[in-house]
Amino acid sequence: MCEANAYLLKNNSETLIMEAVDKVEPEGDGIKLISIFGDQKFIKGKILSLSLVDHKIFLAEIKS
Amino acid sequence: MCEANAYLLKNNSETLIMEAVDKVEPEGDGIKLISIFGDQKFIKGKILSLSLVDHKIFLAEIKS
């Protein structure tokens, strides 16, 4: 399986926010993550980068 | 390996723009794609969605 882990980058540290992410969908001012188990999480932020071979998704919060 | 194929969605049709994509990096008004072979492509557009289990990345052009 080719799911990935999603990390939030903040102050130079990575926080794991969701494992086994299947779908990544930008929506409005954030990103919707859906895991292979169907769990959903909405992060107010943006995609910094994805590294599929490393199974990593990096997001950053948008300060409002 | 967990690379994906990148498609451009336009007028309800999908066009394959890059195979074996490893890295996806939003940059300025577009998206930089880097394949597992090191090839790079810059698409002026945005990420519509990613489906990692299906190995698919969907992008849309930004009209300017």
pLDDT value at position B29?
94
Q: How many domains does chain A have?
A: 1
Strand partners, A17: none
pLDDT value at position B64?
59
What's A21's domain CATH number? 2.30.30.240
Question: Contact A53/B36, CB-based, under 8 Å?
Answer: yes
B1 interface with A at CB cutoff 8 Å? yes
DSSP track, B18-64: EEEEEEEEEETTEEEEEETT--EEEESEEEEEEETTTTEEEEEEPP-
Question: Contact A2/B53, CB-based, under 8 Å?
Answer: yes
Question: Contact B52/A4, CB-based, under 8 Å?
Answer: yes
User: Residue A35 belongs to what domain range?
Assistant: 4-61
pLDDT value at position B44?
95
pLDDT value at position B1?
72
Residues A7-56 pLDDT 10s: 999 888 999 999 999 999 999 999 999 999 999 999 999 999 999 999 99
Instruction: List C-alpha distances in Å: B14 to A42, A57, B42, B47, B59.
Output: 27, 24, 17, 14, 9
Q: What are the residue ranges in chain B where pLDDT is below 70?
A: 64
Nearest CA among B52, B62, B43, B44 for reference residue B22: B52
- Would you place residue A2 in the very low, low, confident or very high pLDDT band (cuts 50, 70, 90)? confident
Among B1, B2, B34, the residue to mutate for chain A (most A Cβ within 10 A)? B2
The complex's ipTM? 0.91
The minimum CA-CA distance between A32 and chain B, rounded to whole Å, is 9
Average pLDDT over residues A1-6: 90
User: In chain B, what residues touch A26 (CB-CB under 8 Å)?
Assistant: 46-49
pLDDT value at position A57?
98
CA distance A19 to B28: 28
Q: Are A37 and B53 in contact (CB under 8 A)?
A: no
Q: Are B50 and B56 in contact (CB under 8 A)?
A: yes
B20 interface with A at CB cutoff 8 Å? no
